[in-house]
Amino acid sequence: MKKLLGIVVLGLLLSGNAYAENCPEDMKPEGYDQTLKSFVEEVHGSYFVPEESYKFGLEIQEAVKNKDLKKLLSLIKHDLISGPKMSFFDGKTFDEAFTESFRSTILSTKPGCVPIGVDKGFILGNGQIWYDRVDYNMFDLREDLKKYKWFSELPNIEQIKAVRDFETIYGPWSITRITQTK
């Protein structure tokens, strides 16, 4: 029994190390003197786990590699910030929507552990695909509450007071931009 318990504990310890093998906490982001862990905590307020961003990038690449348009589109949780309307993809195959150049560029880049730019996005290729965690903030909450009569009848200032202390929460990973299609 002790031997079995030892194997289970060892397995858990090893799987914990494998979790951050692509984005180790002690890695130093390019151009910074601090570790990845402190960079994420201090600069980005811990809104993401670097290894999760890396793995989501791999998931996107897998869909692109397999030319699986349905899978790729399932990774888009809301309308794209920039790129085609979702209706653009209706009735199309992967090859009808994207060029081979798009595919090879996406597959030739390594997913990132650190976001690019001020909007906290991650990119594949030369920015052909951007992805990030979906955020839900006080303005989103206010819009959602407006569907209730009691809330919609409040003056604007009262609506804002009701949601002002709501902290942004981050949801699932999502593709946010696709900047190149056929």
pLDDT, one tens digit per residue, over 42-88 is: 877 778 889 999 999 999 999 999 999 999 999 999 889 899 999 99
Answer whether residue 58 is part of any domain.
yes
- 3-state DSSP percent of the chain in helix, strand and coil, to 5: 45, 15, 40
Answer whether residue 129 is part of any domain.
yes
Inter-residue contact 63 to 35 (CB < 8 Å): no
Answer whether residue 156 is part of any domain.
no
Answer whether residue 166 is part of any domain.
no
Angstrom distance (rounded) from CA 153 to CA 151:
5
Can you give the pTM of this predicted structure? 0.76
Residue 5: per-residue pLDDT: 40
Answer whether residue 163 is part of any domain.
no
Answer whether residue 45 is part of any domain.
yes
Please give the average per-residue pLDDT across 116-137, as a whole number: 86
Residue 18: per-residue pLDDT: 39
Average pLDDT of the chain is: 85
Answer whether residue 90 is part of any domain.
yes
Answer whether residue 61 is part of any domain.
yes
* Total domains, the chain: 1
Residue 48: per-residue pLDDT: 84
Domain region containing 117: 37-133+173-178
